[in-house]
């Protein structure tokens, strides 16, 4: 296979460095949203980083930008090289945008069941998107395809987000320290953090930041109850929390360094995300709804006045064609019907 590079003239190294500086100011340093709520009669707070405010609308900007910048500094992403990655969406969107900004062609392999909006946004940045069906291997097939295209093409850079330690480092040097500083400005130190695991970059990086900052706080990975891959070691079923639980346990995830896995039902996550949009105007994606419910489970373990933090990974716009925009049935055991959202405050440093 060959790529037509005529559409993307090679950007000189000094121009690329200037672009990196321009991009840096548009990523990270997100506000901390402190949601006040009542759950089964108990009033409590959940602190969530507003990650949808990153340049391309998700937490994955931090990781993709850090990987691009590190690779450029180390000389492994040379001007004009093609970036090839497997992703469930947000990573593809981030690399597609940064590729456009830095003069790199981008090829994205993605399971074909991800939302139409994800595919359209990736294409809008001029990236080449290759969809992989379940029969052709789904997520693992996407990774295998990215690897073999990397072998086939010359001048390719493979970010390998599931195995790249720079993914963890991005959160260890930005998300985690920002969170610690924002909580500290309120006179708080974190007792626990919880987040849905896609690559595991967020949970591993925040855990690393806590350890470097001598913060004694538990970090819980979260997974869909419908597909408990982390708890069982293999893919179990289909679920609707796009961006998390991608069929296997990623290489950078070290469950032995983390607190117990938290599970949330995908329908409950959808109902919670809908509620945040309708009642507080916080139009977040499905994994953010899951993270808020996960934080409530952690508050139950830690004590209801504990300082528990999470992330709102992306917003609801990429899910307008999905069940997030439809009426979702309530099932016994769901938590979201018992959540009464009261108010929120925002911390910006």
Q: At what angle do helices 90-102 and 60-73 cross, to 10 degrees?
A: 40
Shortest distance (Å) from residue 202 CB to ligand PMP: 3
59's tokens: 């937490």
* Closest residue by beta carbon to ligand PMP: 243
Q: Which residues contact 326 (CB under 8 A, 6 or more apart)?
A: none
Shortest distance (Å) from residue 61 CB to ligand PMP: 11
CA 52 to chain centre: 10
Catalytic status, residue 60: yes
Q: Which C-beta is closer to ligand PMP: that of 61 or that of 191?
A: 61
Q: Percent helix, strand, coil in the chain (nearest 5)?
A: 40, 20, 40
Which segments of 202-244 are extended strands (E)? 218-224
Indicate the pairing of strand 339-347 with strand 32-39: antiparallel
Shortest distance (Å) from residue 196 CB to ligand PMP: 5
- From the candidates 88, 227, 245, 287, which is the catalytic residue? 287
Q: Which C-beta is closer to ligand PMP: that of 60 or that of 265?
A: 60
- From the candidates 49, 58, 60, 88, which is the catalytic residue? 60
Shortest distance (Å) from residue 94 CB to ligand PMP: 9
Q: Which C-beta is closer to ligand PMP: that of 16 or that of 309?
A: 309
Q: Which C-beta is closer to ligand PMP: that of 197 or that of 207?
A: 197
Segment (H or E) for 146: helix 138-152
Question: Between the CA of residue 84 and those of 144, 149, 157, 177, what are the distances in Å?
Answer: 11, 8, 6, 30
Shortest distance (Å) from residue 301 CB to ligand PMP: 21
Q: Which C-beta is closer to ligand PMP: that of 81 or that of 223?
A: 223
Q: What's the CA dihedral at 301, 302, 308, 313 to 10 degrees?
A: -20
Determine contact, residues 279/339, Cβ cutoff 8 Å: no
Q: Could you list the residues that contact ligand PMP (CB under 6 A)? A: 58, 60, 88-90, 196-202, 243-244, 285, 287, 313-314
Could you give the residue numbers annotated as active site?
60, 287
């Amino acid at each position: 296979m060959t790529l037509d590079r005529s559409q993307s003239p090679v950007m000189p190294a000094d121009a690329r460095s200037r672009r990196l500086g321009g991009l840096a100011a548009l990523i990270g340093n997100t506000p901390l949203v402190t949601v006040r709520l009542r759950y089964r009669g108990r009033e409590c707070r959940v602190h969530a980083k507003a990650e949808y405010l990153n340049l391309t609308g998700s937490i994955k900007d931090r990781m993709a930008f850090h990987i691009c910048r590190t690779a450029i500094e180390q000389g492994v992403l040379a001007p004009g090289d093609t970036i090839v990655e497997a992703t469930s969406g947000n990573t593809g969107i981030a690399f597609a945008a940064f590729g456009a900004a830095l003069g790199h062609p981008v090829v994205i392999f993605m399971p074909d069941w991800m939302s139409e909006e994800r595919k359209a946004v990736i294409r809008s940045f001029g990236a080449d998107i290759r969809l992989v069906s379940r029969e052709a291997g789904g997520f693992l097939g996407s990774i295998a395809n990215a690897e073999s295209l990397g072998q086939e093409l010359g001048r390719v850079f493979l970010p390998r987000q599931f195995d790249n330690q720079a993914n963890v480092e991005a959160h260890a040097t930005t998300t985690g320290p920002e969170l610690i500083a924002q909580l500290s400005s309120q006179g708080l130190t974190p007792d626990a953090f919880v987040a849905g695991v896609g690559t595991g970059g967020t949970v591993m990086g925040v855990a690393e930041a806590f350890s470097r900052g001598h913060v004694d706080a538990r970090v819980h990975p979260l997974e869909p109850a419908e597909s408990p891959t982390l708890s069982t070691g293999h893919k179990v079923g289909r679920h609707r929390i796009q961006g998390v639980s991608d069929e296997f346990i990623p290489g950078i995830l070290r469950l032995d360094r983390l607190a117990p896995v938290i599970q949330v039902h995908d329908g409950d996550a959808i109902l919670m995300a809908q509620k945040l949009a309708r009642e507080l105007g916080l139009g977040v994606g499905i994994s953010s709804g899951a993270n808020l419910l996960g934080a409530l489970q952690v508050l139950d373990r830690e004590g209801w006045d504990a300082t528990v933090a999470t992330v709102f990974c992306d917003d609801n716009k990429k899910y307008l064609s999905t069940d997030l925009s439809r009426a979702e049935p309530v099932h016994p055991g769901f938590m979201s019907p018992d959540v009464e959202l009261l108010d929120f405050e925002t911390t910006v440093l």
